[in-house]
Chain A
Amino acid sequence: MVKRLNILFIDDDEVERMKFSRVCNNTNFKPTVIEAVNGEDALSKLENPTSDLIFLDLNMPKMNGIEFLKILKADKRLKFIPTVILSSSDNYNDLKTCYELGIAGYILKPLRFEDYTKNITTMLDYWTNNELLN
């Protein structure tokens, strides 16, 4: 049986959220997607249901991705949720900080939707085939 992932998708951009859910709906993996518009919002949505995988944007108002990641990684239980960064910046410092904090991937948002679809599908495929702690 194909596992259905609980995914928390965090991005302040409405179109980005639409893009993600569109890709998810078009795959066979059919994950359950919960959306959050910034880090703060995401913290309240982490546990019910418990997320299997997080996609995280970095540049967001109120609580940005790195701030969220710090809080997540400081939590004894939640720190095991694999987190994939989806960012528009390949800024070296951002990359380094994220890898230091502990991430499961760092994807640069491509311009074209077809490239985006490929990236996300690959990720979903990979994590569906992985054993997770929860």
Chain B
Amino acid sequence: MITKNIEVLEKALEREKQARIEAEKNLEEKTSELLKANLTLRKVINEKEIQLHSLFQTIVDPYILMDLYGNVVKMNDAAADFFGYDIENEVFNVISLLVPEDVPFAKKTYYRLLEKGAIKNYKARVFNKNKEIRWIEISPSIVYDEKGKPTFTQGVLRDITDRLTIQKEKELLLKNLKKSNQELNDFAHVVSHDLKAPLRSMNALVSWLQEDCLELSEDESIKENFELLLKKIDKMDHLINGILKYASIDKIEHPKKDIDLQEVVDIILDTIHIPENVKVIIPEKLPIAEGDKFRLHQLFQNLISNAVKYADKDNGEVSITYETKKDFWEFQISDNGKGIPKKYHKKVFGIFETLDDHQNSTGIGLSIVKKIIDLFDGTIWVSSIEGEGATFHFTLPIPN
């Protein structure tokens, strides 16, 4: 009986032993599995940490992390470089970075931040490492711990000083531009009033003098001189009108429209004086351009009347032609006059440049033409063979 009992006990013991071995083996397996998992986890965390750290360090803009009292606990290289602090060696508070006048507003903003958790585009002035005042923009946010308690404040800040400076410069420039435009308008006003009034008076007084003198004397030279004097007054008036036109050509903005250039040229030919001995030839109907009718009219009128004026005295010929290029037309307005020497080809477009003392040639017409061509982003140039004539070439964009 006892032996049997012992046997039973021994069997049980053996079973238990076996079970323990089983369990131990199991445990070992589990442990190793856990270890493995732990290792992978550590690797992942490590990777993430490296990624985060490198991100933190490679953000081009300064990044700072501070406690709720504004003491900086962490910052990236950009921030350290910007402010010139090394938080490894010294403790510093953001308040010390701010321009003193901006501190009250900063505190107010900070309370708002605590309330809302994040704020967008807060602007402030801070001192950089060279003690220069810089404008920064920051969108700070609160970092909470796992229980939802605010622990840190963080933010990436951006130096917007240059942007603000450029913006200010732009505003100033615009203001100046407006002012000079106004001045130009006033100038035009003054010119039309104060410069033209004496001319009218002179014209009247000279006419009366002429009448009176011619009553007293029949001398031809007196008559001629009076005529010349009146012509000079006329020319001065033309000059003033030209300046006014030149000053206002890019001021008055007319709407862009489809403009039939043939129609424009027909009207011009009807209205300007063309001597009988000058023929105007347009071999091919002119195209329809897009733009400001007033300017296109001015452009063609100045060039055509110029060509008519300089065309050959006995057998004048003016031709208006064009060629279609890739995205523009090239127009040619030619005369068969004496031509323009090469050295003057550039000069003719300058204001007040005129190549002869032709009656009423003020040297403004072609500079107006140049200005209009510039407004169309076109180009204009002259070709000429002396003695055979001159051709003005210019381009106008083909509308899409």
Residues in A lying within 8 Å of B, measured CB to CB: 13, 15-16, 18-19, 22, 59, 88-89, 91, 109-114, 116
Q: What is the 8 Å Cβ interface bit string for chain B, positions 191-205, against chain A (1 contact, 0 not)?
A: 011001101110111
The listed residue with most A CB atoms (<10 A of its CB), out of B200, B205, B237, is B200
A89 CB to closest chain B CB, in angstroms? 6
Name A16's contact: one of B189, B201, B230 (CB within 8 Å).
B201
Chain B's closest residue to A111 (CB) is: B237
Chain A's closest residue to B210 (CB) is: A113
Between A and B, 27 residue pairs with Cβ closer than 8 Å are A13-B201, A15-B200, A15-B201, A15-B204, A15-B205, A16-B200, A16-B201, A19-B204, A88-B192, A88-B197, A88-B200, A89-B189, A89-B192, A89-B193, A91-B189, A109-B200, A111-B199, A111-B203, A111-B234, A112-B203, A112-B234, A113-B204, A113-B207, A113-B208, A114-B207, A116-B200, A116-B204
A100 CB to closest chain B CB, in angstroms? 20
Task: Report B2-54 residues with CB < 8 Å from chain A CB.
Answer: none
Q: Which residues of A contact B80 (CB under 8 A)?
A: none
A113→B205 CA distance, assembly (Å): 9
Q: Is the CB of A113 within 8 A of B203?
A: yes
A18→B203 CA distance, assembly (Å): 13
In the complex, besides A59-B193, A89-B192, A114-B207, 17 extra interface pairs with C-beta distance below 8 angstroms are: A13-B197, A13-B201, A15-B201, A15-B204, A15-B205, A18-B204, A19-B204, A88-B196, A88-B200, A89-B189, A89-B193, A91-B189, A111-B233, A111-B237, A112-B203, A112-B207, A116-B204
A111→B199 CA distance, assembly (Å): 7
A95 CB to closest chain B CB, in angstroms? 14
A15→B200 CA distance, assembly (Å): 9
Name A88's contact: one of B193, B233, B234 (CB within 8 Å).
B193
Q: Which residues of A contact B237 (CB under 8 A)?
A: 111
B244 CB to closest chain A CB, in angstroms? 11
A43 CB to closest chain B CB, in angstroms? 23
4 residue pairs, one from A and one from B, having the closest CB atoms: A15-B201, A113-B204, A113-B207, A111-B237
Number of A-B residue pairs, CB cutoff 8 Å, is 41
A116→B203 CA distance, assembly (Å): 11
Q: Which residues of B contact A114 (CB under 8 A)?
A: 207
A113→B208 CA distance, assembly (Å): 9
Q: Which residues of A contact B233 (CB under 8 A)?
A: 111
Main secondary structure of the interface of B (DSSP, over half): helix
A22→B205 CA distance, assembly (Å): 11
A111→B236 CA distance, assembly (Å): 11
Q: Which residues of A contact B208 (CB under 8 A)?
A: 22, 113
Chain B's closest residue to A91 (CB) is: B189
A103→B204 CA distance, assembly (Å): 27
A58→B197 CA distance, assembly (Å): 13
A5→B262 CA distance, assembly (Å): 51
A18→B209 CA distance, assembly (Å): 13
B362 CB to closest chain A CB, in angstroms? 15
Task: Report B277-306 residues with CB < 8 Å from chain A CB.
Answer: none
B189 CB to closest chain A CB, in angstroms? 7
Q: Which residues of A contact B196 (CB under 8 A)?
A: 88, 111
B130 CB to closest chain A CB, in angstroms? 55
Task: Report B216-273 residues with CB < 8 Å from chain A CB.
Answer: 230, 233-234, 237
A127 CB to closest chain B CB, in angstroms? 22
Q: Which residues of B contact A112 (CB under 8 A)?
A: 203, 207, 230, 234
Q: Which residues of B contact A109 (CB under 8 A)?
A: 200
Chain A's closest residue to B206 (CB) is: A113
A110→B197 CA distance, assembly (Å): 10
A18→B204 CA distance, assembly (Å): 9
A18→B202 CA distance, assembly (Å): 12
Q: Which residues of B contact A59 (CB under 8 A)?
A: 193
Q: Which residues of B contact A89 (CB under 8 A)?
A: 189, 192-193
A47→B315 CA distance, assembly (Å): 65
Q: Is the CB of B189 within 8 A of A111?
A: no
Q: Which residues of A contact B197 (CB under 8 A)?
A: 13, 88
A22→B207 CA distance, assembly (Å): 12
A84 CB to closest chain B CB, in angstroms? 17
A75 CB to closest chain B CB, in angstroms? 28
Q: Which residues of A contact B203 (CB under 8 A)?
A: 111-113
A5 CB to closest chain B CB, in angstroms? 22
A18 CB to closest chain B CB, in angstroms? 7
Q: Which residues of B contact A91 (CB under 8 A)?
A: 189
B202 CB to closest chain A CB, in angstroms? 9
Chain A's closest residue to B211 (CB) is: A113
A20→B193 CA distance, assembly (Å): 19
